[in-house]
Chain A
Amino acid sequence: MTKITTLKDWETDQEVRWCPGCGDYAILKAVQRTMPDLGVRPEDTVFISGIGCSSRFPYYMETYGFHTIHGRAPAVATGTKLANPDLDVWIITGDGDALSIGGNHTMHLLRRNLDCQLMLFNNEIYGLTKGQYSPTSREGTHSPSTPYGSVDRPASPCAFALGAGARFVARGIDVHKGLPDVLKAAHAHKGTSFIEIFQNCIVYNKDVFEEFAAKKTAADTQLHLVDGEPMLFAKGAKGITLNHKTLQLEVVDVADGDWEAAGVIVHDVTNRSVAHMLVEMQFGEFPMALGVLYDDPRPTFEAAVVAQNEASSVGKTPDLQALLNKGQKWTVDEKDGPEL
């Protein structure tokens, strides 16, 4: 891609209003840094968001931006993209916005496969409303609305996405240097690209991802998936294999770098069955899978709509008078009587 812009071209003059130290700053920088590499123009780019801390994002991008209402960004984006398929549409949402109030729209966006990037900032908490537990909060989360701990089980964003029919599922961490690569892969994918980003809410849910996000222990706790590469972590000392009896993934030790002997799986981003297992891998028993978990494009929604609109218009002229004249008519003449 030719760079037609620089980072500066993507920064607005707006005062950023996130809490100091919020993970959102890192994500904003990663996006602004990535945009010049995509070879796209700010005027063709639209950021559409719902409601929540994450959804202030469009104000800080020097592009077209639409800060909509809670949970509905996917639906607004669908209308925008159908009206102008040439636009490059990014949806910015959070765990409450995308999976609670807007869960329905997220599901249908994914199943229809509108060409756009959906960045779900997951901080496992409602930040803007001052700290209530969210649909991704872990069981037992203490919050103003759950002073004795939450009792409902959390949703798994990537498993939800895949179940809804997503053709691109990726994971990243707000401050992780690998985030721009994930964004580039998402942008390159034609169809809905679903990206879950672990985002640190330093006020209401500080360091909730520390177990796997901490740099010190990252080698042992993170599995960085690369298409065509073996699923190795812990500096190559461990890997992910498939137990052929239980048909489940397992962590195996890799001796002397011989991952093939250990049966470590080579990541194939188009393998949907493995993708289902990757999104279900529970952290603790497994490392946290990061990067592009699944990427297998299918025709997009807007392309199908445009094709049908064109096909069903072939040979027809948009003649308004003819439309009004349809059906059986009769004429009333000056002499006040009908003529068939």
Chain B
Amino acid sequence: MATALKQDDQGGGPAGNAENVVVRFAGDSGDGMQLTGGQFTLSTALAGNDLATFPDFPAEIRAPQGTLFGVSAFQINFGSRVIETAGDQPDVLIAMNPAALKTNVQEVRPGGLVIADEGEFGKRNLDKAHYDSNPLEDGSLAKWKLLKLNISQLTLDAVKPFGLGNKEALRCKNMWTLGLALWMFEREREPVIKWLKEKFAKLPEIANANIAALNAGHAYGETAEISGDGLGGGHLPTHRIKAAPATPGVYRTVTGAEAISQGLVAGAQLAGLPMFFGGYPITPASAILHHLSRLKEFGVTTFQAEDEIAAITAAIGASYAGSLGITSSSGPGIALKGEAMGLAIMTELPLVIVNSQRGGPSTGLPTKTEQSDLYQAVFGRNGDAPMPVIAARSPGDAFECAIEAVRIAVQYMTPVMLLTDGYIANAAEPWKIPDVNTLEPFPVSFQETMPEGGLMPYGRDEKLARPWIKPGTPELMHRIGGIEKGLNTGHIDYGPANHQAMTEIRRDKVLGVADSIADQELAYGKPGAKLAVVGWGSTFGPIHQAVLRASEAGADVSHVHIRNIWPMPKNLGDLLKSFDRIIVPEMNTGQLKTILRDQFLVDAKPVNKVSGQPFTIGEVEAAIQEALA
């Protein structure tokens, strides 16, 4: 059925197949495109498709209406095979105004479907989008199938019985559009209706108007006689995408921010600790603060601090008192926290720092994604200040990574940085809900009695971790701080031999984390292949798909995706040396590449993209072909 939309191999799926479809909703910031996309995602997940999403919105909350920079878009790729990216090119674009059309249409696959709300294509909006003539009329969209609908008017007609003002009535446009999209892909309306009733429980007329708009959009798809260009048959095509094969189990959709929050809660529980979260609002990290603020029954205390520095230092103060201290931010905020990370390293207190990376430097691209904080995470502090770094590859993976970060922090008495990015934080994917009984506990034991031989606050266990002694414990009073600590005693000690010894201990302790992490596995392929594509973080999806495709086409290529950025898995060097060639696609100018070259003396070649947008599969595929040429 979907072949009407999938006539060539330029879409997100393999040649000639209709295994997946990429749909992008685009409109003004105020048009509710993120909500529309989110609800479409839920309905799609409930239909059993695998999916990946890419919300892309402006940094301005409400940019002036109708402007090019005020366009907000939501892309979803869903299908009957495993989906790992939000898709390279949309097959369907739903544009709610001229600005949304202009900023998005060029990415639509030639031959793809463009649905535009012609009610919004008046002179004023065309001017704002810098169109000299109406693109719906002047033939400039000829390479796509165009469907013009007066969604604004159709919505007004549908909600008329509810007596809303014009402005409020037009707010239902997104639900009308969603109704149409649900019909096109044979999705259920029930979950959306249920959601609307809950969301507007106190405003039943608004709920009913939105439901009416949704139903009207759905009915329109079903009954309207369309004279759309080239769609044939007079009807909209419908696309049944069958359920994706998946490991049996119970699934839900999850965003990275949710998964990290829940992983941190799980980690605290596995460690047997109350959690203290210090945060300061920053895009795109704030969502974690929001999630955790609602989980107080799990022993979570959240603290919105006066600044990034207070957020981390309060978390350190809480760890000092025996809680699991956590802080979270994004690039610029992480930079501000740098000195305090050094304090946590020096005082050897557990701490988890979550960095939802965005485009930089400085304020950079607040709502766009990038992986350019890897150097900052591994090296970005004064002095020799080693710190374990973990990178999540997807929203679902972020849950496990958060638990792992907590485990390392408490077992090694060290701050740990967990890297995610704007893409992972906001994107949703189906997630097989873990069985909490299968999670391995790692209970913390505080030192509570005077050890034989006297108190040694900087004495060490076999992991080189010092004891965690909470204030309030009788007899074990001691002082800690950022000044160099004497071996074992923890007294102030500037001595040259002592600093040498303590620096080496801090280094060795962190390197020793490698003893407790899993060996590096191959995400695809085998050791010794002609080419390895090595990645980290949210580039997993495009790299994996590109490697699969290249491999299907006969290339000898493997995929290595590194979770433990520092220290690296012990077998990684040997594994990398087994390949003839290595390329490292990263959304930066070559940061992991540099570390791999430094650590293992391998000839890793960079493949870089810093446009604020994720890699497309095609881009990685092209890099593979070039590397093998």
Contact = CB atoms under 8 A, between A and B. Distances in A.
Interface string A39-83: 001111010100100000011001111111100101111111111
A72 B301 contact: no
Contacts of B251: 329-332
B320 A80 contact: yes
Contacts of A104: 306-307, 310
Interface string A79-123: 111111011000000000000000011011000000000000000
A340 interface: yes
Interface string B317-360: 11111110100000000000001101100010000000000000
Max count, chain A CB within 10 A of own CB: residue among B45, B276, B306: B306
A80 B323 CA distance: 9
B303 A78 contact: yes
A44 B249 contact: no
Interface residues of A, number: 63
Interface string B267-291: 0010000101010000000000000
Nearest to B275: A83
B436 A320 contact: yes
A104 B48 CA distance: 51
Contacts of B303: 78-79, 82, 305
Nearest to A331: B250
Max count, chain B CB within 10 A of own CB: residue among A65, A67, A330: A330
Interface string A172-187: 0000000000000000
Given A79-B303, A79-B317, 6 more contacts: A67-B482, A79-B318, A104-B306, A305-B301, A329-B250, A338-B47
Contacts of A44: 471-472
B481 A76 contact: no
Interface string B469-484: 0111111111111110
Contacts of B310: 72, 74-75, 78, 104-105, 108
10 contacts: A48-B317, A65-B477, A67-B481, A76-B320, A78-B305, A84-B321, A108-B305, A320-B265, A328-B42, A331-B249
A317 interface: yes
A104 B25 CA distance: 43
A75 B481 contact: no
A313 B296 contact: yes
B477 A72 contact: no
Interface in B242-259: 243, 245-253
Contacts of B309: 72, 75, 105
A258 to B, nearest CB: 50
A68 B314 CA distance: 11
Contacts of A41: 474
Nearest to B295: A323
B263 to A, nearest CB: 10
Given A64-B477, A77-B317, A84-B472, A313 B297 contact: yes
Interface of A: 12, 14, 41-44, 46, 48, 51, 58-59, 62-69, 72, 74-84, 86-87, 104-105, 107-108, 305, 308-309, 312-313, 316-318, 320-321, 323-334, 336-338, 340
Contact of A83 (B45, B47, B318): B318
A251 B482 CA distance: 48
Nearest to B327: A79
B436 A324 contact: yes
State which size class the interface on B falls in. Answer: 35 or more
Contacts of A328: 42, 45-46, 191, 252-253
Nearest to A63: B477
Nearest to A61: B479
A320 B479 contact: no
Given A79-B317, A84-B472, A59 B478 contact: no
B298 A318 contact: yes
A83 B323 contact: yes
**Which 6 A/B pairs are nearest by Cβ-Cβ distance?**
A338-B48, A67-B481, A79-B317, A79-B314, A65-B479, A83-B321
Contacts of B314: 75-76, 78-79, 82
A80 B436 contact: no
Contacts of A14: 479, 491-492
Contacts of B299: 318
A331 B266 CA distance: 23
Contacts of A305: 301, 303
B249 A324 contact: no
Max count, chain A CB within 10 A of own CB: residue among B188, B319, B343, B472: B472
Nearest to B195: A328
B262 interface: yes
B481 to A, nearest CB: 3
A58 B479 CA distance: 7
A338 B43 CA distance: 13
Nearest to A340: B46
B479 A325 contact: no
A69 B340 contact: yes
B434 interface: yes
Contacts of A108: 305-306, 310
| SS of B interface (majority) | mixed
A66 B320 contact: yes
Nearest to A107: B306
B433 interface: yes
A337 B318 contact: no
Given A67-B480, A76-B314, A80-B321, A86 B298 contact: no
B155 interface: no
B313 A68 contact: yes
A67 B483 contact: yes
A334 B316 contact: no
Contact of B306 (A86, A105, A330): A105
B315 interface: yes
A119 to B, nearest CB: 17
Given A76-B316, A320-B266, A309 B296 contact: yes
Max count, chain A CB within 10 A of own CB: residue among B246, B340, B479, B480: B479
B162 to A, nearest CB: 27
A324 B472 contact: no
A308 B476 contact: no
A23 B288 CA distance: 46
B472 A323 contact: no
B257 to A, nearest CB: 14
Nearest to B306: A108
A104 to B, nearest CB: 6
Nearest to B309: A72
Given A46-B471, A72-B340, A328-B191, A83 B479 contact: no
B249 A332 contact: yes
Contacts of B266: 320, 324
Contacts of A72: 309-310, 313, 340
B332 to A, nearest CB: 17
Max count, chain B CB within 10 A of own CB: residue among A62, A68, A75: A75
B69 to A, nearest CB: 33
A66 B296 CA distance: 28
A59 B252 contact: no
Interface string B44-67: 011110000000000000000000
Contact of A312 (B188, B191, B297, B315): B297
A318 to B, nearest CB: 5
Contacts of A43: 471-477
A82 B276 contact: yes
A66 B482 CA distance: 9
A77 B251 CA distance: 42
A112 to B, nearest CB: 9
Nearest to B482: A69
B245 A336 contact: yes
A330 B250 contact: yes
Contacts of B476: 43
Contacts of B478: 64-65
A323 B276 contact: no
Nearest to A48: B317
A72 to B, nearest CB: 4
Nearest to A333: B248
Interface string B560-587: 0000000000000000000000000000
